Chains A and B, each alone.
Chain A
Amino acid sequence: MAEMEVANKGKKGKRSKKLSTRVDLTPMVDLAFLLITFFMLATTMNKPKTMEINKPVEDKDQDKDMDEPTIKMSKTLNLMLGDNNKVYWYVSPDEITATSTIELDSTDYSAQGLRAVVKRRQNEVQAMHGDKNELFVMIKPLPGSKLKNTVDALDEMTINGVNKYAILPPKEAIDSLVALQINQKRK
């Protein structure tokens, strides 16, 4: 391929031979593309996305005698993340009396599962209080759950537009009852 056309026209003189200045660039192009391929494969193109989490500030000195801001329990939804990709949800009544019952059910993280529960609860809160943004979701991951479950649950909050939610340790009395009921370790 190399063009080594030697000028061979005219008289056979003692003139120095005129060499073509053209160089065959094919190997150079080969090399360039080889390196491009290497760098393309080595580079990390898609940047990972992140999910921001804000935890409430733990203040040990204060708040001891101050009352925690109370939320009406009828505005809440409790999600307990258990093992085997199951999520247990319940709504506790405003006041717990001897006769009060709690609805407890399990579901999964699919669009028909958890999302439907959150949507239903949003509608209930809307009917009761007039604004579905009043819904407060408490996410309580149990030790048996996986990180994926927490991420999925938080994701559902974003998808459903729930503005008020928190990751809390399952430490209320009712949580331990529920944990006992569903055969999960609480700590």
Chain B
Amino acid sequence: MDSQMMTGNLAAAWGARLADVDYIPAFPITPQTEIVEALAKWCARGEVAARFVSMDSEHSMMTAAGAAEVAGARVFTATSSQGLLHAFEVLYSISGWRAPLVLVNVSRALAAPITLESDHNDVLAARDAGFLQIHAETCQEVLDSILMAYRIAEDERIMLPVIVNLDGFTLSFTREPVSLPDPEMVRRFLPPFRPSHLGFTASSAQALGVAVIGGTSYAYFRHQVHLAARNALEVHGEAAESFHALFGRRYDLVEGYRLEDADDVLVMTNAGASKGKAAVDAARTQGKRVGLLRLRVIRPWPAEAIRQALRGRRGVAVLDQNLAPGQGGILYQEVAACLYHEPARPRALCSFIGGLGGQNLSAGEFHAIVEQTAEAGVAGSGLGPVLLYSAEEHREMTQLQMLAGGHA
């Protein structure tokens, strides 16, 4: 198949285009904007048969997206960071409406201080919203995950919205070769959206999002969201199987890299995992038996797949590109929780926090992580949360503080 060089953002736009969406409510925000710009252009030219509407905020954008989806349209939209948080209450509404739309989030660190580059505090803030979450490592995976996301979301066993996440800058603006799937084959993978129990029509009325009185009804409906999300573990497997058969690329809940004989394992997500894989290769050349586990599907939480991958290891380091102040790494907590009942759990579970706001992860830092995790594994005692901050970063920051204080 022919490959084209394209950014993660353009790959996301192609995902929506190939999914033959009906409706795209949009609002610009860096680093996502290129996605909606591409879609606006294609809609204007008639190359995408969707209605594109510029909304007045992400809050309105997500409301329009969810409302259109429950009215029976296939909906795509995208945002980042502050925009995702501006729309936050609507995320819970959309999952409660059981609206199977797809939202691309281009991760960007949250203010304050205001910044543009990536970390995952934005998308992980939405981890309890009832959206499924797929975190992509490459531009190809962004496109493919959007197609898989619609297939999973619209499955009658699921009927939940999905966030497909990609890193701002490192993936959104990086060109990689991307193979565009044949539209006819995409239609085989993803049939047209024909929801059997959504829609507001003259002959068939429905009341949706209605008030409930008391916890009996409330708990019932939220339990339904949870159970449907759990169903996605199986449905994702079916979608992955079918996608592989049609397109030759295979995506599982988690991805193992050089895990077979690994004593120690790095756990990472998103585009940063590519750097992690390079660090694994470097450590391997020094004879260290290290591997990497990339968490791809974050919701539903693939506990069993994680247990299987980490069972019997010596040291495991969770490298969180996020920070829960006063706690530590968000994914570390979840990984730790799912290993508690594993008899052959790793001897040490270490927590590292790095890459905040686009902060560099240097080869030296990866080297230190690998060393310290191995030592912790030997000692049988965990480590962290370690806030990664190199001597070079410290020097640079000291200079900036001197400038800020007028002492330069």
A binds B: no
Q: Which residues of A contact B (CB under 8 A)?
A: none
